[in-house]
Chains A and B, each alone.
Chain A
Amino acid sequence: MSFNAKMHVADGAATLRLVGELDRRSAPRLNELIIEAASRQVKRLVLLMDELKYMSSAGLRCLVFAHQKMPRGVQIVLIGTRPEVAETIKLTGFDRSITMEDSVEAP
């Protein structure tokens, strides 16, 4: 039941690598990072998801939180989301305010 998130801000984009399980206990940690990203006026919020094994209902709500915290026009991108997690995001309709990509785009 561990969760770890690291943020890296560069070139107007905040990139967060999420590792482990995102649930009610770990969601506040991610929300803090999202608030910090919002305060640094990035144009893009990128969540690297390939090491996130599980996302609970509270975890999904972080996506809504991000959508509401980030200024209008900021793109929220989820990269490499595991199929099980991606399916849950889609079936519950949480994919409407975000973009999901398979892997990091070539620069």
Chain B
Amino acid sequence: MLERVDAYPNQWISGFGVRAGRPLPFGATIVPGGINFSVYSNNATAMTLVLFRRGESRPMAEIPFPPAFRIGGVFAMTVFGLDAETIEYGYRAHGPYDPADGHYFDPGRILADPYAKLIGGRERWGAPRDSMVYRSGVACDDFDWESDRQLNLPAEDLVIYELHVRGFTKDPSAGVAAPGTFAGLVEKIPYLRELGVNCVELMPVFEFDECEGARSDPATGRPLHNYWGYNPIGFFAPKASYATTGRHGMQIDEFKSLVKHLHLAGIEVVLDVVFNHTGEGNERGPTISFRGLDNQTYYMLTPEGYYYNFSGTGNTLNCNHPVVRGFILDCLRYWVTEFHVDGFRFDLAAILGRAPDGSLLSNPPLLESLAHDPVLRDCKLIAEAWDAAGLYQVGAFPDYCRWSEWNGRYRDAIRRFIKGDLGMVGEMATRMAGSADMYLRRGPAASVNFVTAHDGFTLRDLVSYNDKHNENNGEGNNDGDNGNNSWNCGHEGPTDDPEVTALRDRQVRNALLLLLTSHGIPMLVAGDEMGRTQQGNNNAYCHDSPISWIDWTLLDKNADLFRFVRCAIAFRRSHCALRRRRHVADSSPEGLFPALSWHGVHAWMPDWASHSRLLAAMFYGDDGGRHDCVYVAANTYWEGQTLELPTLPDGLAWHLFADTAAPPPQDVHQPGREPLLTDQARVHVGPRSVIVLVTHPVPTKS
């Protein structure tokens, strides 16, 4: 075999053999004999590669890129004889320092590579920052995936479970060997299987700076963290302190192992990704990478050179700039090809539709590229279709018939409906039917339905507090949303009053049952299935403490609730009538019944009046020759009501799946083993309660 000449150096700089590198791919790549470094900057005049011995904060060598190693705005160099495992690197970018013109070049700083696959220096969560913490590392990309690939579950079949990698197993009650890490989450996969969810949405796992905040808890004096992690530093790098093996630089392998194990359990992995801003903050924030490499390219700047702040965090990534667009696309492709992830949820995605000057684009090139990218074709793309500057695009997000959305209107409607607000029956019906008013073209799976998300009250707190209680966040309770549509059921916060607690238990079940019988993709937040509380804090982003962590002892304390949720998920998964790919018009006849029909005190007679507090829906589908018929009635009035049931043909009978007014264990029944209703003509739905009925064939006498 002919040996390639490019496997050998043709120049020596600073004691290292080098030659002109390949501009693509960007980042550091292991090549025969060495490592290829490629970094771009439209405005830098020169660039220096800085090499470290792994773990050391002082450089071992600096290699300026010779002018001949530059092509356009790309600096590319192959350095020979480097051991990828024992070195780390960074860059010094030379150029003008002129903030008014958008330039922050400072060769005195060593910058992280935007394409770094590993970030060294942050292996220990919450460790104090040293002078040069973000060293870039070179990754080995071989892994034994066996036959793993993306699961490709139909979107309408998903039940999403949103969780925080650290908080899920950090509390000692989790009882895992590797608390707060990817490996710890692997230990909890049997739990996820038992619960029945088939998709986990991981809050940010890209390397971020948890120590960016300067605040401390006024009650305890302890420093607060950016625990949620919506301030990325390394978009290609799994967070080192989320891996038990991060101290060995093996966070990539540990994360891949997590994905592989989740896939083996039939669970998809969706990553919550933050492309609207970086962890560099505003003019006063730290310079870690982007600002120093090419500020004018990476950030949206005012004509005076200040940062636009559509994200509410100090800066806004210039995501429709062609270079940044390419960066985002490269990043997502990397997570799909290297980590086999199944989809992405885009934080403050409305920003991704803004032009470099912040104006709204009607056909945003970034969103279009993502929608049609061949590598991303089978990924779920979910937009949080609003931003922190007031742009609200739920139902109007540039979707290319491809994007789904967090349906904020579903959240608002279900919260108001269950607390008994008037005038909500019609809107709740629309939301339950997959929000055809917004998503008719895309289908119900464009609607990710939810009652709660990481941002806001937990489900337990939603029925326990009228107002947010964020004093521990150190901002005088001024942070966090004021519009929660919550109701404390008669007492603010914890209480022993049995009437109040019984009503709260019921309201929690009402919300979960409606969510899990609605068309669209239901999303649950980890812990809501066991009654997790944040003591009324609706913005716990800064608490790396039991406020945010899952308390697994709740699973015993609230075993009835867990059983209820598990059964409701199993029920959804066994009824195709609840998981529609297309919207069903309420009049379209389909076999025995219309695919969706509305009812009231009298069958077939819904009450859409503004004073109505009763909603009854009948979902019908033909499941391979078997009638699949589900009747859901929600009464938000403070007294019970008796409802006439739709008459069934001979051979079918109504059975009771769930009744939130009944004390456990009668509140829910195992799907497939629901007891027969004694009275087939009518059913009683209790005060502020939801019932769910299902048909089964009458056993033939033989």
Contact = CB atoms under 8 A, between A and B. Distances in A.
A59 B110 CA distance: 30
B86 A24 contact: yes
B85 A58 contact: yes
What band does the interface of chain A fall in when counting residues whose beta carbon is under 8 Å from B?
Answer: 20 to 34
B144 A92 contact: no
A88 B140 contact: no
B83 A25 contact: yes
Given A57-B253, A93-B144, 15 more contacts: A24-B84, A24-B86, A56-B85, A57-B85, A57-B249, A58-B140, A61-B140, A64-B142, A64-B143, A67-B144, A88-B248, A92-B250, A93-B257, A96-B144, A97-B146
A93 B261 contact: yes
A24 B83 contact: yes
Counting from the closest, the 3 A-B pairs by CB-CB distance are A93-B257, A92-B253, A91-B183
B180 to A, nearest CB: 13
B583 interface: no
Nearest to A27: B85
12 contacts: A24-B86, A57-B250, A68-B144, A88-B245, A88-B248, A91-B250, A92-B250, A92-B257, A93-B253, A93-B256, A96-B146, A97-B146
Contacts of A96: 144, 146
B320 interface: no
A56 B245 CA distance: 10
Interface string B30-58: 00000000000000000000000000000
Contacts of B559: none
B145 to A, nearest CB: 10
Nearest to B30: A24
Interface in B46-105: 83-86
Contact of B257 (A57, A91, A97): A91
Contacts of B181: 91
Interface of A: 23-25, 56-58, 60-61, 64, 67-68, 87-88, 90-94, 96-97
B84 A64 contact: no
A97 B253 CA distance: 15
Contacts of B248: 56-57, 88
Nearest to B248: A88
A60 B146 CA distance: 16
B330 to A, nearest CB: 23
Contact of B142 (A23, A25, A61, A90): A61
B309 interface: no
B257 A23 contact: no
Contacts of A93: 144, 253-254, 256-257, 260-261
Contacts of B260: 93
A4 B441 CA distance: 65
A59 B300 CA distance: 44
A52 to B, nearest CB: 14
Given A24-B85, A92-B253, A97 B244 contact: no
A93 B251 CA distance: 11
B242 to A, nearest CB: 12
Given A24-B86, A57-B248, A91 B140 contact: no
Majority SS of interface residues in chain B?
A: loop
Contact of B144 (A64, A87, A88, A90): A64
Nearest to A64: B144
Contacts of B243: 91
Contacts of B249: 57
Contacts of B554: none
A23 B85 contact: yes
B83 A88 contact: no
Given A24-B84, A24-B85, A56-B85, A92 B245 contact: yes
Contacts of A58: 85, 140
A30 to B, nearest CB: 15
A67 to B, nearest CB: 7
B178 interface: yes
Nearest to A56: B85
Interface in B239-275: 243-245, 248-250, 253-254, 256-257, 260-261
Contacts of B245: 88, 91-92
Interface in B122-160: 140, 142-144, 146
A92 B243 CA distance: 9
A60 B140 CA distance: 11
A56 B248 CA distance: 7
Nearest to A92: B253
B339 to A, nearest CB: 13
Which of A56, A64, A93, A94 counts the most B-chain CB atoms under 10 A from its CB? A93
B227 to A, nearest CB: 23
A93 B85 CA distance: 19
A88 B257 CA distance: 12
Nearest to A59: B85
A22 B593 CA distance: 68
A13 B313 CA distance: 61
Nearest to B118: A57
A58 B254 CA distance: 14
B240 to A, nearest CB: 13
A93 B249 CA distance: 15
Nearest to A55: B248
A23 B140 CA distance: 12
Contacts of A25: 83
B253 to A, nearest CB: 4
Contacts of B250: 57, 60, 88, 91-92
Contacts of B86: 23-24
